[in-house]
């Protein structure tokens, strides 16, 4: 019994609850609650044979007497206790022994009958040696044919046993799948509730982050984020690919900038050294300017000229005299 497919044609990978329910109803109607056994499958055949023997005179023939009761109660005991593989093997072995005894008794009785008929016959039946040889040859050929047929029957029995085990295994797997299918609707409902809860938590997080309003629509850039979160699977994969490409480009740019870090550090150190020298020079200049200002203010306060200014006028006058004397043109 093959198990029907339960996949939905609309949603790939998501089982349809209605389809699952219909499959379960179909399996329940086609499978019995007690399961299949060899004895139960043989009941229609045995009942038909028994009824035909019981009503044998209805088809125009002589009324046959009911068969005598069987003395062996192995099958009856196995039916009472419940059929098992070991009990079936015991029944088979028992019937093989009975058949071997019956065959020996039949051959013995037939041989005795033929021997008595040959003795009391008129004239008595005399068997020649060549007839015995012919019978032995025909018996040897019949035995070889019988052995060949026995080999074929044993091969068929092994094939049937293998197929029986295969069918039993497949039937067990179907029963297991049926149990899984019976629990599938509840599992689907549980997963749907879980998905609904996750969507609600996602919506709350988006509202907390300001990506979407309480009514589900975001303003400004939030609308784009909300639209990205509501995309179908194909569009989502395309968007993920684009984001990954952007991330790869940013990583390459970051690697290039990291390679420039040592040279930039050296430039920064040189700039810091230059800034330090300029800071020192500015400090000296500031100190000199403050000292000059202080002297100028002190000279103005004392009513005299600043020593530096006087020295500067003397230097300029001396320069002018020297230029006139040496006839220099500046």
Asked if the model's pLDDT at residue 139 lies above 80, the reply is yes
Say what the pLDDT of residue 180 is.
Answer: 82
Pick the residue with more confidence: 242 or 312?
242
Contact 209, 222 (CB under 8 A): no
Which among 1, 93, 83 is positioned nearest to 37, based on CA atoms?
A: 83
Would you give the DSSP letter of residue 67? Answer: P
pLDDT number for residue 141: 94
Q: What percent of the chain has pLDDT over 70?
A: 67
Top pLDDT among 304 and 300 is at 300
Report the pLDDT value the prediction gives residue 217, as an integer from 0 to 100: 45
Q: Is the pLDDT of residue 146 over 90?
A: yes
Tally of residues, the chain: 330
What is the maximum span of the chain, computed from C-alpha positions, in angstroms?
Answer: 195
Residue 61 has pLDDT above 50, yes or no: no
Question: Which residues are CB-contacts of 217 (< 8 A; sequence separation ≥ 6)?
Answer: 223, 226
Phi, psi of 34 (to 5 degrees): -85, -15
Tell me the C-alpha distance between 157 and 98, whole Å: 20
Let me know: does 93 contact 75? Beta carbons within 8 Å.
no
Paired with 15 in beta bridges are 7
Q: Which two tokens stand for residue 129?
A: 């040696």
Most confident of 235-244, 285-294, 306-315: 235-244
Across the chain, what does the average pLDDT equal? 75
Query: Mean pLDDT, to the nearest integer, of 74-96?
Result: 70
**C-alpha angle 116/121/122, rounded to 5°?**
165
Q: Let me know: does 113 contact 106? Beta carbons within 8 Å.
A: no
- Give the closest residue to 3 by CA, choosing from 37, 21, 27: 27
Q: In this structure, are residues 177 and 20 in contact, taking their beta carbons and an 8 Å threshold? A: no
């Amino acid at each position: 019994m093959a198990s029907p497919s339960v996949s939905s044609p609309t949603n790939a990978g998501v089982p349809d609850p209605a389809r699952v329910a219909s499959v379960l109803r179909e399996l329940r109607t086609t499978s019995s609650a007690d399961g299949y056994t060899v004895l139960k499958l043989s009941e229609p055949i045995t009942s038909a044979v028994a009824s035909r023997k019981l009503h044998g005179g209805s088809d125009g023939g002589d009324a046959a007497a009911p068969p005598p009761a069987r003395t062996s109660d192995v099958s009856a005991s196995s039916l009472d206790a419940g059929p098992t593989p070991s009990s079936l093997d015991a029944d088979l072995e028992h019937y093989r022994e009975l058949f071997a005894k019956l065959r020996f008794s039949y051959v013995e009785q037939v041989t005795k009958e033929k021997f008595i008929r040959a003795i009391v016959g008129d004239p008595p039946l005399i068997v020649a040696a060549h007839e015995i040889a012919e019978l032995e040859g025909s018996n040897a050929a019949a035995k070889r044919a019988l052995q060949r047929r026995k080999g074929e029957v044993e091969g068929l029995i092994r094939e049937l046993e293998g197929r029986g085990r295969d069918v039993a295994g497949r039937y067990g797997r179907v029963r297991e799948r049926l149990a899984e299918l019976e629990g599938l609707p509840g599992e689907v409902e549980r997963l749907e509730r879980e998905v609904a809860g996750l969507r609600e938590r996602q919506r709350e997080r988006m509202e907390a982050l300001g990506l979407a309003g309480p009514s589900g629509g975001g303003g400004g850039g939030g609308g784009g984020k909300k639209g990205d979160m509501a995309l179908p699977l194909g569009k989502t994969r395309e968007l993920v690919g684009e984001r990954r490409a952007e991330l790869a480009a940013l990583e390459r740019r970051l690697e290039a900038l990291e390679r420039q870090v040592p040279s930039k550090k050296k430039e920064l150190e040189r700039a810091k050294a230059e800034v330090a020298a300029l800071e020192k020079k500015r400090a000296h200049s500031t100190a000199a300017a403050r000292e000059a200002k202080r002297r100028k203010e002190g000279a103005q306060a004392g009513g005299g000229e600043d020593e530096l200014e006087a020295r500067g006028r003397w230097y300029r006058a001396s320069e002018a005299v020297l230029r006139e004397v040496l006839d220099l043109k500046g």
